[in-house]
Amino acid sequence: MNKDIATPARTKEILEKHGFSFKKSLGQNFLIDPNILRNIVSHADLTDRTGVIEVGPGIGALTEHLARSAKKVVAFEIDQRLLPVLEDTLSPYNNVEIINQDVLEADLNGIVEEQFSGFDDIVVVANLPYYVTTPIIMKFLLGKVPIRAMVIMMQKEVADRITASPSTKAYGSLSIAVQYYMDAEVSMIVPKTVFIPQPNVESAVLKLTKKAEPPVEVIDEDFLFKVARGSFVQRRKTLLNNLQSSLQNGKAKKEQILQAFERIGMDPGRRGETLSIEEFGKLANALYADFKES
């Protein structure tokens, strides 16, 4: 067994050897606790048939644990200064492919087809850069990338928002967008002390598991998320007020909005945070004919 990358001494040695300095703009926080990494990997339920997509491998601390458990790991690293570091640290593993590209600009379905041809089990496992956590998650979900699950480290506050239930402070359009596609649960809370440099916020590992089918059938998914976002523009306002200001010509079409509420027997005086995903689906379907983008 190769010596773990993720110990404080070995991490320091690797960084010094390659003269690497952290870039704040890339949100680089490297894990230095092998137990945490083993725990993350255990939540992903990897087998020797699993393909893993990683985002932001850093110096390869999590990557090597993934490589030991999965059939193949494809990791996106945007910082080209890390390419020689990864070539060095991951040299014992021949089942790792590093792609020097911003994952947000990548053709994920094309890469999956090319890199994981013949795989029927694909999982995303990553210690995500905190400033782009939400766009990365949504790129995988909206792009219908064929993954079974995502096990991802993120800011605890974002994990709380993703897993929130209706009528709680953290519940909002992000909770709805993710929970439409995935079952979401916080697997573990991670202390600041296991990173270098230490982040200013608490972290959590979130497990997202693909639902067999969404909880509600909608005419148009994009429109559902638009209605959800619009309903939370000002949390303290009623659905009627928020939708009038967020939907195109909403003020002029107040009557149509009220009729949509009446058709589904919903009180327009409710607030967005009280609606379940199923209710948002019904509301979006009722509004669709009058507000779909022409």
Is 127 annotated as a binding-site member?
yes
Is 242 annotated as a binding-site member?
no
User: What is the spatial distance between Cα 195 and Cα 8, in angstroms, rounded to a whole number?
Assistant: 9
DSSP assignment of 220-288 equals -HHHHHHHHHHHTSSTTS-HHHHHHHHSTTTTTTHHHHHHHHHHTT--TTS-GGG--HHHHHHHHHHHH
What single DSSP character describes residue 201? S
Is 2 annotated as a binding-site member?
no
DSSP assignment of 114-179 equals HHSTT-S-EEEEEE--GGGHHHHHHHHHHTT---SEEEEEEEHHHHHHHHPPTTSTT-SHHHHHHH
Annotated binding site for S-adenosyl-L-methionine: 29, 31, 56, 77, 102, 127
Annotated binding site: 29, 31, 56, 77, 102, 127
